[in-house]
Structure 1
Amino acid sequence: MRFKWNIDFIKKSKYFYTFSIVVTLIGIISLIVFQLNYGVDFRSGSNVDIAVSKQVTKEDMQNILTEANLNNENAVITPGSGRVSVRFPNVLSEDDQTKLTSVVESKIGKDASIEINTVDTEIAKELERNALIAVLVASLGIIIYVTIRFEWRFAVSAIVALLHDAFMVISVFSIFQLEVNLTFIIALLTIVGYSINDTVVIFDRIRENMRFAKIKSHQDLHDVVNKSISQTMTRSLNTVFTVFIASVALLIFGSESIRMFSLAMVIGLLFGAYSSIFIASPLWYALRGIGQDKGKKKPAKATT
């Protein structure tokens, strides 16, 4: 027996719109003031990851950098559980890498595993440009697909929901200055994929119900959208919940290299959980309502 969601989704959407607008404004301010905390993938420099078997503090790592004759004034040291990360704004030469490896082995132990990733300025710019192109191409493809399969109102609503989900994640990463790397871009594209999947399922049910509905007023249209969302609500929640649990598991038990990917997925799924229901569908309802008003014929003037 199908569970019936006795909720006026269209009416409740105003609260979610308000919340999203507030987060968007805070995100815009944060991006202007603080920008994004780009990782080594998008910023020239060297990133050093050291796997350790004992506790290494920030002060211990600063002493190691000093002994290796490396400028640690602008280096960002992030100690963690079983791992220490050091990000240099400049590219480390081969001599610098050799000195650092030698000092780390002497101070921490030869069992310490060192991984050094270096990106120069041109590669960083190219990666940033390609990441932006990837997101734009994916968005364009979605617009074309939804327009062909449904109509332009569905396409506009879907792309607004997708941009909403992506920007919410970007805003959170900017506000809390979380590191943005290539795995973050992969997470964004993955979130876009899950979001459009849920949105299309709801839109498909709206289109199906519209075929048999007699729309004479805004209330009729209102009822069709609420009915369509209610019919697909359980399916949408089950899909999001399944992926959310997997993302949380990766965030807790996964390696440091996919930590930002997992965190972006968790945040994106939380925002995406309501965007298809309370952002995309009510927006289509508003656009469809405007078209319905314009389609009404004006009463003929009486002739004398």
Structure 2
Amino acid sequence: MRINVVKQAKLWWFISSGVILASIAAMAISWTTIDAPLRPSLDFVGGTKLQLTLDCSIEGNCDQPLTTAEVQAILDEQAIGKSSVQIVDDYTLSVRTPSLDVNQRTALQTTISQEIGAFDPQSISIDTVGPTIGKQLFVSGLLALGASMAGIIIYLTLRFQFDYAFFAILAL
């Protein structure tokens, strides 16, 4: 099967333009909702992640699956700033918050347990990443990206003729 790409150049320009515009629109929407074009992970911004699983050995504790709305309401009650709630499976939830101290984490866990149900103490996972480590990871990531781009540029420059290498680098 042969695809004549040059013959359908307008189609490919249209598809590429559409994907680029959709990406820019998504980044603009993200900027208005989370004050950043991309959502950095907890590893980069610092914060606390709690992963809790309902204890299904208690009768009636797992009658209905968890919902993000009920957990988000608890976070709003606790006046915890920008946080995200994700349901991992029907009875496990992951909560990402700004950095919480031990008392705040305990209060949050207690409130969630009282409102939603008891959690299995063996499955509770709490991770806290400080902003210093997050900044170091971000800088290391940028350095790794820069080094890999430099390596690719050097390879393309040495491997291809100048005009092909120039446009290959431009496409990066």
Matched, 1:8 2:18: no
Contact persistence 2:47–2:130 (CA under 8 A): yes
Summarize the Cα distance change of 1:60–1:137 in structure 2 as closer, same or farther, 3 Å threshold.
Answer: same
Give, as a single letter, the amino acid of the residue that structure 2 aligns with 1:38: P
Matched, 1:132 2:132: no
Q: Helix, strand or coil: the match of 2:44?
A: coil
Matched, 1:71 2:67: no
Match of 1:46 among 42, 45, 48: 48
Deviation at 1:59, TM superposition (A): 4.7
Show the counterpart of 1:91: 99
Distance 1:133 1:78 in 2: 31
Show the counterpart of 1:81: 89
Distance 1:73 1:136 in 2: 33
Q: Bigger CA drift: 139-148 or 69-78?
A: 69-78
Show the counterpart of 1:156: 166
Give, as a single letter, the amino acid of the residue that structure 1 aligns with 2:99: V
- Between Structure 1 and Structure 2, the one with more helix by share is 1
Distance 1:102 1:32 in 2: 37
Give, as a single letter, the amino acid of the residue that structure 1 aligns with 2:53: A
Contact persistence 1:147–1:155 (CA under 8 A): yes
Matched, 1:26 2:28: no
Summarize the Cα distance change of 1:65–1:132 in structure 2 as closer, same or farther, 3 Å threshold.
Answer: same
For structure 1, the 5+ residue unaligned runs are: 164-304
Distance 1:25 1:65 in 2: 35
After superposition, give the CA deviation of every residue in 1:35-75 in whole Å (9 maximum; x if it has no partner): 11222122232222223454222354357658xx8434543
Distance 2:122 2:110 in 1: 11
For structure 2, the 5+ residue unaligned runs are: 32-36, 57-61
Matched, 1:57 2:95: no
- Between Structure 1 and Structure 2, the one with more strand by share is 2
Contact persistence 1:50–1:112 (CA under 8 A): no
Give, as a single letter, the amino acid of the residue that structure 2 aligns with 1:51: T
Summarize the Cα distance change of 1:38–1:23 in structure 2 as closer, same or farther, 3 Å threshold.
Answer: same
Identity of aligned residues (%): 28
| Number of aligned residues | 155
User: TM-score, normalising length from structure 2?
Assistant: 0.69
Q: Helix, strand or coil: the match of 1:11?
A: coil
Distance 2:49 2:80 in 1: 13
Give, as a single letter, the amino acid of the residue that structure 2 aligns with 1:151: Q
Q: Helix, strand or coil: the match of 1:85?
A: strand
Contact persistence 1:44–1:124 (CA under 8 A): yes
Deviation at 1:112, TM superposition (A): 6.2
Distance 1:43 1:121 in 2: 6
Show the counterpart of 1:246: none
CA RMSD, aligned part only? 3.1
Deviation at 1:81, TM superposition (A): 1.9
- Rg larger in 1 or in 2? 1
